[in-house]
Amino acid sequence: MPSTPRTATWPPGGRLPLHIPTCRIRVRRPCRRFLGQEPSSTRPRRVLPAHRVQTETTAKQALRPGKLPARLARPETSLDLPLRPTRPRTPPIAISPLRLPSRNLTVPESSYTILVVDDHEHNRELLCRRLVRQGYRVATAADGHEALQYLEDHAADLVLLDISMPGMDGYQVLDRLKRDAQWRDIPVLMVTAIDDTDSVARCIELGADDYLTRPVNTRLLEARVNACLNKRRLREQEQNYLRQIRAEQKRADDLLYDLLPHSVVQELKATGTVRPRRFHNVGVLFCDIVGFTAYCDERDPEEVVHRLQVLFERFEQVVVQHGMEKIKTVGDCFLATAGL
């Protein structure tokens, strides 16, 4: 039977009505001959009623693209519908290709110099190649006497020392290095084929910083060398700090001696305090420069300070000649005592 059209409005509040036909579509089970399971001659063809044939024909036409019936076709009038805003596309991220480091890398030159002492040329060349590859400057010596001669003329930051050598062996060279104040702070790394405990203990007692046995592992050699050089660097920093502390202490002592008598400064440094005392028959000398303010107004500060320094040095010489003791200086005033 023919379907009855309904009238609906879309979207709500829209301008044009849409005619949506109402029809019932029954999906039949697919026939076996279309699936290839049974030939068409095995089963007789069914005859459908007229209304069933019309409904299925209309449904097949509706599902066929480009051939819709007139009542299902979209009207040619365009609809003024709101459009959904489109999201802007994000530009693709440019990823640079991975660059692997080259195998032929140039090793930066180090500021440390290493002295390799060994009587076998093959061992010296092997250690030299490995140390140069790590960026160090390398010097070589074939025996103990040659090593000491090199240290007399050049400076070295680390010594790689063998034990078994003709003439002066490694123990004697190590003992000579640690007894001399000039070479005492140079770290020594023993590199030898002797791996017994007595040899290691003897080298440590003589002052060796580390011990490495052959065959030498490259990674272990690098770690031991870096550790020895770090010890030397820290030792040098400690010595620099001590020199700075001594310089600051001397500057503070000079300032105390300029302000206080020598006996008072010595007592203050020894005990941390000055005990009050009473002295009899004491003479006090107080010198002041007349017209010092007008003198300063007419001259530069550098010239005034320089002339005051020269004048006070002359005052101190006079005080020492007469057995007096300077107390302090304040501006252009000079204070000294006699009889203390």
Q: What angle do CA 76, 82, 85 make, to 5 degrees?
A: 125
Percent of the chain whose predicted confidence (pLDDT) is above 90:
37
Strand arrangement of the beta sheet that strand 325-330 belongs to: 283-287, 333-338, 325-330
Rounded Cα–Cα distance for residues 274 and 20 (Å): 116
Cα-based torsion angle of the residue sequence 143, 145, 149, 155 in order, rounded to the nearest 10 degrees? 50
Question: For residue 319, what pLDDT is reported?
Answer: 87
Which pLDDT does position 12 carry in this prediction?
54
- Those residues whose C-beta lies under 8 Å from the C-beta of residue 105, and which sit 6 or more positions away, are none
pLDDT in tens, 313-337: 888 888 888 888 887 788 888 888 8
- With tokens 């028959």, the residue in question is 281
326 closest CA partner among 235, 265, 248: 265
Range with lowest mean pLDDT among 8-12, 23-27, 127-131, 295-299 = 8-12
Rounded (10°) CA dihedral 265, 270, 275, 278: -50
Cα 70 to Cα 82: distance, rounded to the nearest angstrom = 27
User: What amino acid occupies position 232?
Assistant: R
Angle of helix 170-179 relative to helix 197-206, nearest 10 degrees, comes to: 20
- pLDDT over 60 at 268, yes or no: yes
Tokens of 294: 């007008």
Q: Which of 13-22, 69-78, 218-227 has the highest mean pLDDT?
A: 218-227
Q: For 276-285, how does the pLDDT look when each residue is reduced to its tens digit (9 = 90+)?
A: 888 788 888 8
pLDDT at 200 over 70: yes
Q: Residue 170: pLDDT band by 50, 70, 90 thresholds?
A: very high
Q: Note the Cα 65 to chain centre separation in Å.
A: 70
What pLDDT does residue 108 have? 45
Q: Express each pLDDT in 84-138 by its tens digit.
A: 555 555 554 343 333 333 333 334 456 899 999 999 999 999 999 999 999 999 9
Cα Rg of the chain, angstroms? 53
**Structure confidence at residue 92 (pLDDT):** 44
Distances (CA, A) of 89 to 8, 84, 86, 93: 37, 15, 9, 12
Q: Each residue of 148-168: pLDDT tens digit?
A: 999 999 999 999 999 999 989
pLDDT value at position 98? 32
Q: What angle do CA 262, 267, 272 make, to 5 degrees?
A: 130
Do 113 and 156 meet the contact criterion of CB atoms below 8 Å apart? yes
Q: For the chain, what is the total number of helices (H) and then of strands (E)? A: 9, 10
| CA–centroid distance for 270 within its chain | 45
For residue 312, give the DSSP letter. Answer: H
Average model confidence (pLDDT) for the chain? 77
